[in-house]
Amino acid sequence: MNDGSHVTAMTPVFPGSVDAAGQPATLGVMGGGQLGRMFVHAAQRLGYFTAVLDPDAQSPAGRVSHHHIQTGYDDPAGLVQLAHLCQAITTEFENVPALALQTLAQTRPVAPGAAVVGIAQNRIEEKAHFAACAAVSGVSCAPYAVIETPAQLQAVQAERSDLLPGILKTARMGYDGKGQVRVKTAGELAAAWAELGGVACVLEKMLPLTAECSVLVARGWDGRVVSFAPQRNVHVNGILAVTHAYDGNMPSALATRAREAAVAVAHHLGYVGVLCVEFFVVDDGSEHGGLVVNEMAPRPHNSGHYTLDACDVSQFDLQVHAMAGLPLPQPRQHSPAIMLNLLGDVWFAASGQQQDPDWYSVLRLPGTHLHLYGKVQARAGRKMGHLTITGPDVASVKTVAQQAAGLLGLPGLDAI
């Protein structure tokens, strides 16, 4: 399928160029969070002007961009202004209205396009596409059933006991563990569906997981694809806590399968831009386990933030290249890395009193790279930044990561 943009041939937007009206080459992003902020930094480093559309006056990306259009994502006047300012437009999160991207694509290249963003917004459509792609990718999703009506709920209760125990997930707006309920019985399933408001859901069979991983790929308007090696991820309470990015972080045969599957998904969608595909590694009785595709994010991803410090080209550099029609260089990782997510909890003592993290001690450690996202108020569970540790070898990186995690009181210490 095509990714939904009206553009079929992309004329490159070169950095530092000026159009006939004297307007500098400007790249736009829908969304002003940390992913937008890091995109803006990457675009500006190349010499582009940037424009951010986000309703929050204090948005991290809006605060550092040349232009901040402070309005809602579906505001017609704001979309007109963004299209007027920019030569190409992207998004920093998947829940921007797909219709807004479709509107922008009538006059400007938009990558990724509305169609694939719409698929990523709906787990029902997402799983259908994974299933359709399985013949090519060689990797399927977990067994599941769609529940949109009471009749479908009753049918699943009566006929799909094989899906229990399972996880009931809302079709829309679920992320970082939100909109999900674990269920063991048919009765718990009915109660969970009611608890979620009777909205469209997917019941997904719980699998014996041994690990989680993700793959970042970038695909250009010309169909060229480059990718990073898979990252192994550790989640705590549904939120990414630790990312391991180095040779040997998972069996090589499994890593190759994951990488090839992610590329196949991008091709199947006719995708343009940076795409993250997340996988489960399950215990299927084989030596290294089997691979199951979980979900995708049509944007750069938290698990790829290590690329800013450990690679010669970051995921945000590739996002800029892809949307602007520039060549896509194959990234090279020059250092093993571990990334630690920094949630707002780090800013609070065990007593609940707010405190400043001990950055002095952390930044004394070799190979530490601190990235804070410019969010003024720390809250429990809020992503405030990340810390990447690089070094000459995996052993030294693990040692420093454990020291840093201990100093900050981070969860997942036993997984480093």
- Binding-site annotation: residue ranges for ATP: 123, 169, 174-180, 204-207, 212, 235, 294-295
DSSP β-ladder status, 383-390 and 26-30: unpaired
The neighbour count for residue 37, using CB atoms within 10 Å, is 26
Directed axis angle between helix 252-269 and helix 123-137, to 10°?
120
User: ∠ CA 213-216-221 to the nearest 5 degrees?
Assistant: 155
How buried is 151 (Cβ within 10 angstroms: 0-12 exposed, 13-18 middle, 19+ buried)?
Answer: exposed
Which residues contribute to the annotated binding site? 123, 169, 174-180, 204-207, 212, 235, 294-295
Of 98, 53, 398, 365, residue with least CA distance to 248: 398
**Cβ distance 196 to 168 under 8 Å?**
yes
| Helix/strand/coil percent split, the chain, to 5 | 35, 25, 40
What does the radius of gyration of the chain's CA atoms come to, in whole angstroms?
21
